[in-house]
Amino acid sequence: MTQVILFPITSVLLYGLMAYMPQFGIVGAVFSPLLLLLYLNHEKRSKYSDLMLVSAVGLMAGISYMLPLIYIATVAFCALFVFMYMKKGYLEIWLPVSAAPLLIFTGMAIMIYGLPEYRKELTDFAEKGMLNFINAVKESKNPMADDPYFLAVVNQSRMAAESMVLAFPAINYAFAALCTHIAMSLYSKLKKIELPRFRLPDNLVWLLILGFALVFVNQKYIKHGGLNLIIMMLTLYAFQGFDVVNHWFTRFKFPSFLKALIFVFIFAEPPFIIFIALLGLFSVWFNLYGRQENNKEQTPSD
């Protein structure tokens, strides 16, 4: 019984760590849905252990009243979605990764776009954090302080903070999608279940095109709505692009440690992630898997 309780408790602790040490907590929180998924599938799971999980989630309210709600919408819902999805025998990874994070996206969008006071509170918090970072860079005499983009942010910190807050629903979506992808992928490896490649239906590219179109509308909230859509779709296409890269790594028999180092480097450099997303996008129109893939069964694209 003690062993099974460790899964949900560790999941909650890893996520709660973000409130105290965000730089480390965000890394641990990525694996929080995986631990919960392992717990949901554990043979010794019981009503008592479920009660312990609910109690642990409730205790997070002592840190912040929002933390349990975000945990439920991001971690618990995504893990439960994958659990129910795989229990029915479905293995297409793109569906839970793209659909499960819609709950946290919808909740954050309603709060930020529908509650002006909450939006102002978040904007004040974001601006304060941004100004603290700017002052720290100036005091350290970092070369970044002379960068034109950095100077533009300094001169328009309020506008930059508001833009960040208005894009927050999509940022939460991207994080939840990453957590869901890692949970389902690693769980499948642990259980020796072979998943098909990550492949979005081709017609979803129209959502990305719509996002770019909305960005050019001269209305602040519609413009940022388009930006949210772009971030969401590029996140999903990044997973598709990583699948292409991993295919070639496997084909040329790259050592596992070298693949891990390359992926860490890519995640550390945002421009490379954009390149990977574009790679996933181009795979909609071009076969990027090589000649031998033509003879294999393809995932339906409609």
Given pLDDT bands bounded at 50, 70 and 90, which one contains residue 254? confident
Instruction: Give 155's pLDDT tier (boundaries 50, 70, 90).
Output: confident
Give yes or no for residue 143 having a pLDDT over 60: yes
Inter-residue contact 55 to 41 (CB < 8 Å) = no
What is the per-residue pLDDT for 301? 45
Q: Are 179 and 33 in contact (CB under 8 A)?
A: yes
Confidence of residue 19 (pLDDT cuts 50, 70, 90): confident
- CA 294 – CA 57 distance, rounded (Å): 48
The dihedral over CA atoms of 204, 209, 215, 219, expressed in degrees to the nearest 10, equals -80
Residue 253 has pLDDT above 70, yes or no: yes
Integer Cα distance of 287 and 293 in angstroms? 8
Which pLDDT score, from 0 to 100, does residue 266 have? Answer: 80
Segment 184-220, tens digit of pLDDT: 999 999 999 999 999 999 999 999 999 999 999 999 9
Query: Measured between alpha carbons, how far is 84 from 88 in angstroms, rounded to an integer?
Result: 6
- Give the integer Cα–Cα distance in Å for 48 and 5: 9
The more confidently predicted of residues 81 and 158 is 81
State what percent of residues in the chain have pLDDT above 70: 93
Nearest to 250 by CA among 218, 212, 219, 289: 289
Contact 83, 184 (CB under 8 A): no
Cα–Cα distance, 12 to 204 (Å, whole number): 34
Give the span between the Cα atoms of 163 and 166, in whole angstroms.
Answer: 5
Write the single-letter amino acid at 46: S
Q: pLDDT band at 77, cuts 50/70/90?
A: very high
* pLDDT score recorded for residue 291: 66
Q: CA 67 → CA 25, 73, 143, distances in Å?
A: 13, 10, 36
At 240-252, the pLDDT tens digits run 999 998 888 888 8
Tokens of 62: 């002592």
Q: Which helix (H) or strand (E) holds 159?
A: helix 157-166
Say yes or no to pLDDT of 55 above 50.
yes
More confident site: 21 or 14: 14
Q: 82: pLDDT confidence band, cut at 50, 70 and 90?
A: very high
Q: Are 75 and 53 in contact (CB under 8 A)?
A: no
**pLDDT surpasses 90 at 227:** yes
When pLDDT is averaged across residues 267-276 and rounded to a whole number, the result is 84
* pLDDT tops 90 at residue 34: yes
| Mean pLDDT, residues 46-57 | 90
- Between 289 and 170, where is the model more confident? 170
State the helix-helix crossing angle for 2-16 and 22-29, rounded to 10 degrees: 130
